[in-house]
Amino acid sequence: MNRRMLRRGISNLMVGLMVLAVVAALLPLFFILADLVAKGAGSLSLDFFTKTPAPAGETGGGVAHAIVGTLLIVGIASLMGLPIGIAAGIYCAEFPGSRLTWLTRFVADVMNGTPSIVVGVFAWAWIVATQKHFSALAGSAALAMLMIPMVLRTTEEMIKLVPNSLREAALALGYSRWRTSLSIVLRTTLPGIVTGSLLAVARIAGETAPLLFTALGSQYMSFDVNQPMASLPLTVFTYATGPYEEWHRNAWAAALVLILVVLVLSIGARLAIRSRFTLNG
């Protein structure tokens, strides 16, 4: 009897420890979000979104240049990365037995684990070193490279969820294979692919490391993608490690804007995926 009590006691103790682990795991999330709002919200103003930085040490000014830069860099990266990732994903799902599928899938897994800083070095060696100047385009190329494996895997998984009977029905009705793929299979999975792409965009929007020596960052408004350009994550980094109080305040505000964008994109995408296809049970 005593021994049984002991065993049940241990069981309950372990469950208690696990609940503690859950609390400990959720605390950082709560603190980070709370601190971002507490320290960042105060600096958000119209000026913050519409003005470029004031000279170092002075108050005022905003991060309009970084917002524009992020939009441009991430936009171009998406234009480069999404078509390749989606096409490769369709290929892997449509030709599952092919040797190229095996290779592509394996390489995508390798790329998914590659540190983003390494991809940054690659983009530097490829574009910056040959052009002899930093450019936003090189940053976009690095981000596109990071996007491809993510988009590839979600596209493939989504297409695999389409029941084979649907495909067969279309083929039996006399549709050719490409029309079956495009107007039956892809149309059914379009919401899934869109949300997968949004997740990838959310992921690269917060990337800093690959931009450090490609897009480099700048203090001025710039629309020339062949020149160095600012971006929100780079601005957070520069301002956070800089010496001025004003910079620190703006770093918090820029981080708040960044995280709002990222969370809205990724929470929205996740909820959409989850309600449509119950992936993880």
Residue selected from 157, 192, 200, 222 as contacting other proteins according to rule CB under 8 A? 157
**Which residue is it, tokens 């910056």?**
128
For the chain, give the number of residues.
281
Of 46 and 275, nearer to other proteins (C-beta) is 275
CB closer to other proteins, 230 vs 258: 258
Residues 189-228 that bind other proteins (CB under 8 A): 202-203, 205-209, 212-213, 216
* Residue 135 interacts with other proteins (CB under 8 A): yes or no: no
- State in angstroms the smallest separation of the CB of 85 from other proteins: 8
Tokens of 179: 């029309």
Q: Could you tell me which residues are beta bridge partners of residue 216?
A: 229
> What is the b/e burial string over 25-64, where b = at least 16 CB atoms within 10 angstroms of the residue's CB?
eeeeeeeeeeebeebbeebeeeebeebbbeeeeeeebbbb
Residue list 229-248, contact with other proteins (CB under 8 A): 233, 236-237, 240-241, 248
**49 vs 106 by CB, closer to other proteins:** 106
Site for other proteins in 160-189 (CB under 8 A): 174, 176-179, 181-182
Please choose, from the candidates 109, 111, 143, 115, the residue with its C-alpha nearest in 3D space to the C-alpha of residue 214.
143
For the bound state, the minimum distance from the C-beta of residue 224 to other proteins, rounded and expressed in Å, comes to: 19
How many CA atoms does the CB half-sphere of 187 hold within 13 Å?
Answer: 9
Q: Supply the minimum distance, in Å, between the C-beta of residue 261 and other proteins.
A: 10
- Interactions with other proteins, residue window 75-134 (CB under 8 A): 83-88, 90-92, 94-95, 100-101, 103-104, 107-122, 124-126, 129, 134
Angle subtended at Cα 109 by Cα 108 and Cα 110, rounded to the nearest 5 degrees: 90
